[in-house]
Amino acid sequence: TIGICGLVGMFVLLNFKYVSKYLTDAQLVIGGQIFFATGIAIMTDYGGEGMYGNMVKFYSGFFFIFALGFPVNDTSVVGLFSKVCGNKPQGTLQGLLAMSSAIARLVMPIISAYICQYLNMSVLFISLVVILLVSALVVLRYRGIIELLSSSMRH
């Protein structure tokens, strides 16, 4: 499963330039968020069978998250961030983006553990889906500004 997701992810990345000719930066970011949310929603335990009770659900969710969500979202966010930065010092600003991602990777597992311990895993997964959909809605709401900034910084 991990190997298949890696191959599909590599295919997505190799075709990203082609896909980006037809979709805007905001659409790519929203698409990545939707892939993530879809994968997590599929893996959410709604009926008490446990995440691993239905392996088809698990592998399907895993596929949406790791074969589609990560390649599309990470590539589009970093690319968009670079376009918006324009002629500013890219190294420093990309470093700050990477640092904020690293902090999130440290903090979120701790928050997730508390949610799972004091509530349950379904609450955690549903919370993640809500956060992803809200962030996609924010990008959708401000897509005009995002597109203006990214296109004006290309020239």
Six-digit token string for 65: 């998250």
Give residue limits of the domains in the chain. 1-152
pLDDT tens-place string over residues 19-66: 888 988 889 999 999 999 999 999 887 666 655 567 888 888 989 998
Select from 148, 24, 130, 15 the least CA-distant residue to 84: 148
Q: What pTM value is reported for the model?
A: 0.83
Other Cβ atoms less than 10 A from the Cβ of 149: the count is: 16
Evaluate whether 88 touches 153 at the Cβ level (below 8 Å): no
Percent with pLDDT over 70 in the chain: 92
Structure token pair of residue 146: 């995002």
CA angle at 42 for the pair 25 and 130, rounded to the nearest 5°: 55
